[in-house]
Structure 1
């Protein structure tokens, strides 16, 4: 159902209004629709500014790694079977430090798993999620933008750019880094600039990837390659290359042959020879997070609550844990007959998320700063750490658990 189906100016009353329908918001809406059941189902509105096509900022040309733990949760919510055909398995991860001796591997077989995770292309995922949303009772307003948020004691009223009004007991902000909901409440956000820009593109290689993913730390920042589905029989990898702003701009505009040569020099030939590259995109890399991702009758999830450096591919996986935790809190409140927008509910969500969220943010910042620093004692320490993981495999277990999206 689109905004065209809601052209009267009457107030639509719902239990939950979700602002933002990218990965976190759409997943939450589908999970709520599935988990609400038939007895006292929750009424849900989803407000999304963009249609799910290549122009959607959340369903663009990027690929993401969905960790093993996230796949478990998506399966539990009944969503992974809808997406599994889009995934390319990550069976092995090679981690190295350019110019140093440190390297190690994480292998699915060591943990008796078929895969450590799967890589999906966001544009294709968006189309599937919205197709599934159209099969539910979720009131979908798309394309529609939030113009104003009017707070009250027992609810919030959301005014859309069409003039329509939605009254909700609970607002879930899933509207990204530039959250309109957050700015409406004048809530603070902490930002840490890493002085890096990520070059995002898809690569063609001269040999199959064999389901290997690579994380290579360089003096300018991390360089990650993820396995993708072949295109017309041609092996592909998804690239995330962190560079300083000036170097990134140079590489963004460089002729294709020059770009591939510079990338090959930075990465090496472990993944084969890079023979072609798709359109390149650039994203500034920052760490942003809300100290308290809740407000009166409002919770923040996904990139609206925090945006991470892509160094360990944990952005969506952390956002999905936001979704899962919120679902558990809401289900408990519903079963106990509580007001789902009450302070008790929002604070329960804050409490459940606090440790995982804070530790993940700290770990990401440590990795970025630790592996971008060429101070020799620090470089020696991190390379010894990587070598120890190879020499003593039991040490890999906690590292692998984090990589696989388990808390």
Structure 2
């Protein structure tokens, strides 16, 4: 599966700061110190309805991570998956009378278009669950043969009790885990499981649903968590720098994935930092496909909204905060974009050297994009009111906003 085209990232004078970021597992900030190549895995979409503002906010957060790393003169090895076979996708296809593969391909293509328009840097590897199945099956077999997985009516489950580190990602108690498991795709009430929290690794073939050859597992399809583990281990290996996604993935998805990988390899941790973006609401409720309260990037683009304004609307909220999309949020972003473009359109201006440092420091401080925007606001306000004599300043501001915030002026 191919990703989307990359926009050029301008080089800035000097060197950026190392990233200090909130780690869900420890509950505090850690300073990331990757080697020459920083490694990041971000969980992708299930392509039956793409791309709403909740998606966009999440991918915007991890685009900033990439940009901060690139500004430190590192390379970035970014991997993202597409869960192109799963219950919600199959259910939507049945509801709409569509072929599930056509639905997945169409929505994935739309997601690529949205990411391109928003100038999100693409992953080096963009892998679908279906194409990953040949690598998933041996991992499930290894877990089963090691006694870390068991069969139940043809399905194969992972035993969470085989990982001594289980629970260290989300730091939730058993009851909270059980409630979230039921809410987020698990089956804690299924009779016969060793532990209600045990997640499915391999689902035996169901009538009327797609299935693949699972070798000794029999025909079926993979569970959700093992999909990402197989892709991450194949392309990044253990101990990569950042595992990213929305806050609703901390449990069960990232918790279970970490346990799968740790039992498979005997190493810990799966990732150095678990980083989670907040949820976006609409009308007082979390924006979600199940509720149908969605604002789509593609719909805004069709209505003529500049993608740069959409991106500024996302950047105006700290990535870890939960916030609500409103018409005013977008209107403020449109106005900000106009002010910034007016400021950099002059042939000369106020010195921007200090601004570059301010934006770098804000983003290195747990991706504080609102502080970065405020710094540019201050420069633009003075530039529009007073002007200056530095011929290189407007261009430097444009390159800084482009390189570090992904906004083209």
TM over 0.5: no
TM-score by length of 1: 0.28
| Structure with a larger share of its residues in strand | 1
TM-score normalised by L of structure 2: 0.28
